[in-house]
Amino acid sequence: MKKTLLAIALATTGFVALSTSSFAADAAYNGGYFINGGVGRTEVNKSPFDTNDTGYTLNGGYRWGLFGVEVGYTDLGSYKQNVPVISVPVGVNGSGAPVVGSVNMKAKVHGPTLGGNVHVPVGDNFYISGRAGVYHFDSNAQLGALDSSGNVIIVHTSADGYKPYGGVGVGYDFSSNVSLGVNYDYYSAKKSDFDLSSKMLSVNAEYRF
């Protein structure tokens, strides 16, 4: 999924490269500073988590016509899930019956972003957009297991690193300054076996100065 989404974002950029001359004259895209933000549903499908939450993103940057650079911050929310677990068998040589139970697990992912974006008018004030860059994610999680007696063992772990993000969007330009749209983004947040990579579907607003 992430490879497909990043490919779409890059394809959008390629489309813009071929179309720049025809759109450059549009007064709404003469370039300048911008700010945008979005809020929406985030989702993680990486063991042991298979759940969703609400996240947000804030960005600012500068656009030269259709192309721009952005720096921002994305919080993918706090994931919480009650996960069924099975203990190690008890008894001599592990011959006893295992204990079945559940553990409340939690995780959080957030961090700054740096990348590029495109904002392409497609007639009658509608637009398509693409973005891609680097996500410096910072994640932490509370995981758990059961010991041979059925007691809950809590483990706290964390990870951080630089991973790619990418997304596409569609929306409407209400004026040369104001836009409202819907974005679908993917944020990679994996380090070794610790993976909280997430998808985000959000409503976004942008103001151009």
Using alpha carbons, list the distances in angstroms from residue 88 to 56, 113, 119, 148, 156: 40, 41, 54, 5, 20
Q: pLDDT by residue (tens digit) across 132-154?
A: 999 999 999 888 777 766 677 78
CA-based nearest residue to 130, from 7, 2, 1, 36: 7
Determine the Cα–Cα distance for residues 55 and 71; give it in Å rounded to an integer.
Answer: 17
Task: Check residue 82 and give its pLDDT.
Answer: 82
Task: Check residue 1 and give its pLDDT.
Answer: 52
Task: Check residue 151 and give its pLDDT.
Answer: 74
For the chain, what percent of residues have pLDDT higher than 90? 57
Q: pLDDT by residue (tens digit) across 99-143?
A: 666 778 899 999 999 999 999 999 889 999 999 999 999 999 888
Determine the Cα–Cα distance for residues 103 and 151; give it in Å rounded to an integer.
Answer: 10
As a 3-state breakdown, the chain gives helix, strand, coil percent values, each rounded to 5, of 15, 65, 20
Q: pLDDT by residue (tens digit) across 44-85?
A: 998 788 899 999 999 999 999 899 999 999 999 999 988 777
Domains recognised in the chain with CATH numbers: 2-208 (2.40.160.20)
